[in-house]
Structure 1
């Protein structure tokens, strides 16, 4: 049994899906066609035989009514004519048999019917070279049996002709089933074939711009395969966007790294000839080298952070946004002592907790505060506020700098994007992109807008658990 299952599994693996579907559909239709033909033959055979037996019963009843000289008699005829019946009477006692031999065969079963020990029965036999059907039944109160036989060659020929016609019909049904199975496999699997061809083309060319052609029609009439193709096209669109974003990230990162790496190499080569430099030149080159190393390290760390799509689940815990905000504001005051940082916390949000990774949320807040500090004028305030809004906690960071131009607003969170006013300031253009990624990983929403009265306003909405 195990060997049979293994052989079937190997056969399924070796046969393509289209062949298996065609064979399955053809086999199903062929079995139905052959079954219908077999059932029709059985019904025809039964009905024609039943009609002949009913004729024999009526002939026997007519013979009993018409016969007056009761007694053992051989058959009236030799069953030479298809329409005439052979009738003979047989007693239960063989001693009462007539001298003339019986034409129809007489057996012990016939004697048993005559004396009532057996019920009437039908028999198929040959008389005078002709196939006949014979009924043996009892004459009531006579201890005799009447045998009525009639030729059955007409019925046999009708059954044979019906069998031939049904065999031809069954064969045609099998051929039609094969054609239908092939058509069903080609039509039903056409979208799958297109999907497979598209996937193979993408694998060969590594080009995610290819799409599967979809049939025209309303979406409500789409079948499962069409929906699969639609989902595959959607997945290809997402893949294309991901590949494009990856290539853009690599290109932008290489562009951003080129300048600091060139400066690093220049300063390193300069320090390699330290014996030719004065102490002041050597200290200046060493300081520049250290600053450039920190910039490159920060840029690489930011790129690594941006490469993470999700927050690690084992590190998620319940954190207090108010405590994180106070910590981030305190760190910003130390890093930017020339600015004034204020934090306003709604009493209802003071003890509120949300699920998240504390280190990542702290990085988000520090990026927002650093961005606000870079654009704030000397001595200017940076205002933060945490308050409750419907279905969320809202944290805002506002500066009083030049604000965000309308043309730059849609690109504020893009990687490496730097507005015209920010290109002279330090930074890599990854801080806000990283902040939005952290927010999305926590199910929050980070937006930017022009603040009333000037400056930029960043709004972080953290949904309630």
Structure 2
């Protein structure tokens, strides 16, 4: 049994899907055709035999009176000729048999019919070397049984000719079904073939820009294969964007790392010749080296954080954004003593909880506050507000700096994007990108806009717990 299964599995692997579908369709049609032909042959044979028996019954009815008057008769040799009936009458009592031998076989069943103890019946037998159909019926009032026989080889030849004709028609139908099955499988699987070719081309070239050509048609009436091809094209588009984003991340990261790594190497080489430097020069080089190490460490950590697509589920818990905001504002005041931070929490929002990772949400809030402080003038205020708006919890962070230019608004959350006004400020351009990623991981929405009266306004909304 296992050998048969292995053979079937090898056969399926060696045959393309198109061929297997065509063979399966042909086999199904062949089975139906054979079944119909066999049923038709049996029906034809049954109808022809019934017609023969009907003729025998009519012949018996026509000769009933004649044989009732004549008495027992040994019959004739009419069965030797097609369509010529052979008739004889048989008494119930053997002593009344004629002296001549009977032309048709006589047995106890025939005597019982003559005596009225058995109903009339039909029987298939051979007489004089020919197949015949015999009908035995009682002649009432005479205790005689009338036997009528006709050759049935004509019926057999008719059935044989009908079988040959049906076999020819069935064979032609199977061949036609095989051709149509192959055509249907070839046409129906054309999108699958294009999908396979596109996937193989992408695997060979590593170019996700290829697409499958979809047949033109009214929208909403596509078949399953066309929808599969459309979904595959959508997946290819997402893959292309992902690959482009990865390449852009690598390019941007290498660009951002090149400058601090060069400065690190320079300061390290400088400190390697510390015996030639004054104490002040050594202190400056050592301080610069420490700052650059911290910048590189921060940049690498940010890249690692951005490489994560979702939050680790074991760390998710119910957190209170109001408490996280208060802690983040206190930390920001310590980092930016020259900036005034104000915070207002709505009473309805104070007890609201949301599912999330506390450390990640704290990082999101600190990134927003650091971004606002970086663009605020010395002594300028940074205002935060936490409220419940409808079925969502909303946090706003506003600064009073230069604001965001209209051409920069669509890109403020992109990785390594830095507006022209921000290129002279410290930072790598990853803070807001990380804030958006953390917000999406917590099913929240973050947006940026120009604040009324000047400055930038960031709004964070996520469903209330």
Q: Same fold (TM over 0.5)?
A: yes
Q: Give 1:12-91 correspondences, 5 Å limit.
A: 12-76=12-76, 78-91=78-91
1:199 corresponds to which residue?
A: 199
TM-score under structure 1 normalisation? 0.96
Structure 1 residue 375, shift from structure 2 partner: 0.5
1:399 corresponds to which residue?
A: 399
Q: What SS is found at the alignment partner of 1:418?
A: coil
In structure 1, distance between residues paired with 2:143 and 2:3: 65
Q: What SS is found at the alignment partner of 1:385?
A: strand
The answer to whether the 8 A contact 2:78-2:84 is kept is no
In structure 1, distance between residues paired with 2:269 and 2:165: 100
Once structures 1 and 2 are overlaid, which stretch shifts more, 306-315 or 57-66?
Answer: 57-66
Structure 1 residue 81, shift from structure 2 partner: 4.5
TM-score under structure 2 normalisation? 0.96
1:231 corresponds to which residue?
A: 231
2:188 corresponds to which residue?
A: 188
Q: Give 1:249-260 correspondences, 5 Å limit.
A: 249-260=249-260
The answer to whether the 8 A contact 2:76-2:88 is kept is yes
Superposed CA RMSD:
1.6
In structure 2, distance between residues paired with 1:250 and 1:420: 22
| Structure 1: gaps (5+ residues) | none
In structure 2, distance between residues paired with 1:126 and 1:445: 96
In structure 2, distance between residues paired with 1:343 and 1:267: 42
Structure 1 residue 3, shift from structure 2 partner: 4.8
Structure 1 residue 175, shift from structure 2 partner: 1.3
Structure 1 residue 90, shift from structure 2 partner: 0.7
2:136 corresponds to which residue?
A: 136
Once structures 1 and 2 are overlaid, which stretch shifts more, 351-360 or 88-97?
Answer: 88-97
* 2:329 corresponds to 1:334: no
Q: What SS is found at the alignment partner of 2:132?
A: strand
| Structure 2: gaps (5+ residues) | none
Q: Give 1:314-329 correspondences, 5 Å limit.
A: 314-329=314-329
Once structures 1 and 2 are overlaid, which stretch shifts more, 174-183 or 385-394?
Answer: 174-183
The answer to whether the 8 A contact 2:386-2:396 is kept is yes
Q: What SS is found at the alignment partner of 2:402?
A: coil
In structure 2, distance between residues paired with 1:353 and 1:78: 108
The answer to whether the 8 A contact 2:352-2:464 is kept is no
The answer to whether the 8 A contact 1:398-1:456 is kept is yes
In structure 2, distance between residues paired with 1:133 and 1:380: 119
1:74-127 CA distances to partner (integer Å, 9 max, x unpaired)?
215523553432211011222211112222222333223323444332223344
Q: What SS is found at the alignment partner of 2:386?
A: strand
In structure 2, distance between residues paired with 1:386 and 1:125: 105
In structure 1, distance between residues paired with 2:114 and 2:67: 17
Q: What SS is found at the alignment partner of 1:220?
A: coil
Number of residue pairs matched by the alignment = 465
In structure 1, distance between residues paired with 2:68 and 2:278: 156
* 2:307 corresponds to 1:307: yes
The answer to whether the 8 A contact 2:381-2:400 is kept is yes
Once structures 1 and 2 are overlaid, which stretch shifts more, 187-196 or 197-206?
Answer: 187-196
The answer to whether the 8 A contact 1:78-1:127 is kept is no
1:294-340 CA distances to partner (integer Å, 9 max, x unpaired)?
01000000000110110111111011110000000000000111111
Once structures 1 and 2 are overlaid, which stretch shifts more, 37-46 or 402-411?
Answer: 37-46
The answer to whether the 8 A contact 2:68-2:142 is kept is no
The answer to whether the 8 A contact 1:411-1:417 is kept is yes
1:188-245 CA distances to partner (integer Å, 9 max, x unpaired)?
2211111111111111111101111111112322111111111111100000000000
1:211 corresponds to which residue?
A: 211
In structure 2, distance between residues paired with 1:39 and 1:367: 82
Structure 1 residue 129, shift from structure 2 partner: 4.9
In structure 2, distance between residues paired with 1:93 and 1:4: 66
In structure 2, distance between residues paired with 1:103 and 1:263: 126
2:102 corresponds to which residue?
A: 102
